[in-house]
Structures are given as C-alpha cells and as structure tokens.
Chains A and B, each alone.
Chain A
Amino acid sequence: DGGITQSPKYLFRKEGQNVTLSCEQNLNHDAMYWYRQDPGQGLRLIYYSQIVNDFQKGDIAEGYSVSREKKESFPLTVTSAQKNPTAFYLCASSIGLAGYTDTQYFGPGTRLTVL
C-alpha cells in the first residue's frame, strides 16, 4: 500500500517539553511538507523540503524544527519555544518536479494537545 503515515495519532505534551511527530511516505516523492490546522481555519505551512538534506521555513516556522535525512522521512519537532502548539498537524508529499507545482498527498494527521 502506497501512502503517507503519521504517528502518533494523538499526542499529549506537558509545558516545556519538546515532542517529535513522525511522517513517513513510500510514494517515492521528493517533496514533503508540514502544515498546522487550527479549529475553523485553513492549513498553514510550517516547513517544506524539496530534496533530502534540504528544507525551508514556511509561514509559521517559529518554535518548530525539522530534518530530512532520508527521502521517505520528514519528522517535525515541536519545541518548548512554540507558545501555542495545540493543533492538528498534517504532513504531505508531492512528486516535486522542479519548476512545476503538483498535487499534494496528505497523511491522516496528528492531534497535539498541551496539558
């Protein structure tokens, strides 16, 4: 089965803790993305990566960090510097042809709650 998996489905964090959200894809896509969704709002881009070992900040990168050591994996760390991390986090991937925009495929999401 080809697709994008995210884990865990639900995550609870205490104040001051860093947590890491997992995103794995077996679609052989070059590009991967992390979005945040708050209730009643659209998605906002946190970070994106066009190729392995390269990534760029999106619109709301403060308090987050990522790595892209493998093509299939793009983990997101929510650090203690993120003041309001409670949200629904979605990972996506796309073929990523240079200079061409293509359909993004989304994972099932991780719901993060700060206790």
Chain B
Amino acid sequence: KQEVTQIPAALSVPEGENLVLNCSFTDSAIYNLQWFRQDPGKGLTSLLLIQSSQREQTSGRLNASLDKSSGRSTLYIAASQPGDSATYLCAVSWIGGYNKLIFGAGTRLAVHP
C-alpha cells in the first residue's frame, strides 16, 4: 500500500531557527513529490514540486530534497519567522496513478517570537 508519513506531527521553535521537516513514503516508483502549506481553516498553497528525476528544489528560504532510494524527502526552512507558522503537508504521486496525490498527515509548525 502506498503511504506517506510525516514526522514530527508538531514542532515549536523560536524565531530565527533553521528547521527540517521530514516526509517518508513507501514505494520509490514516484512521479513527483510536492510540499504544501496550509493555514488554519484555509486551502493549500503549493510550495515546491520535485520531479522524480530531481534531487532538490529551492524557493527563497525553502529547500526541499528528494532521495527516492530511501523513500525520503526533507523540507528545510531557513531563518524561520512567525509568519511561517502553519501546517506543512507532503504529497506524493506514483507512476501509474495519473496525478493522484497521497498526502501525509502534516507537520504543524509554530514559530514564536
């Protein structure tokens, strides 16, 4: 069964810290992996999409890496700010699954001043 797991479920850090969110997935035959941000009671905002042939993607203070062989991805947030507080969701699409995404349960991040 194709599953996505995110650790930790929740994280609280002081402003300015660099932090890493983890995502693991079963079955390495993926099309791509996406990281999303969700604010409370809101929809999802796409942050980064990594194709299966890529090792990492960067956008501003965000860097996402992909290691298919180990079934892992990490989202690195540099110099965290209170505005980064949200839930971060990892989603994977697998070969043969069209664009069907399987989501992890998310990591709820709180950055305090």
Contact = CB atoms under 8 A, between A and B. Distances in A.
A43 B46 contact: no
Given A104-B46, A109-B42, A42 B31 contact: no
Interface in B93-113: 93, 98-106
A21 to B, nearest CB: 13
Interface string A93-110: 010100001111111110
Contacts of B41: 88, 109, 111
Interface in B30-53: 31-32, 34, 36, 41-46, 49
Nearest to A111: B41
A6 B105 CA distance: 23
Nearest to B34: A103
Contacts of B46: 103-106
B98 A50 contact: yes
Contacts, number: 62
Interface in B46-98: 46, 49, 89, 91, 93, 98
B4 interface: yes
A107 B99 contact: no
Given A40-B105, A42-B106, A101-B31, A106 B43 contact: yes
Interface in A42-92: 42-45, 48, 50, 58, 88, 90, 92
Interface in A1-60: 4, 6, 31, 33, 35, 40-45, 48, 50, 58
Contact of A108 (B42, B100, B102): B42
Given A42-B4, A109-B43, A104 B98 contact: no
B10 to A, nearest CB: 10
A43 B100 CA distance: 11
B99 A104 contact: yes
Contacts of B89: 42-43
Given A4-B43, A88-B41, A104-B101, 13 more contacts: A33-B99, A35-B103, A41-B105, A43-B91, A43-B101, A43-B103, A45-B100, A90-B44, A101-B99, A103-B34, A106-B45, A109-B42, A111-B41
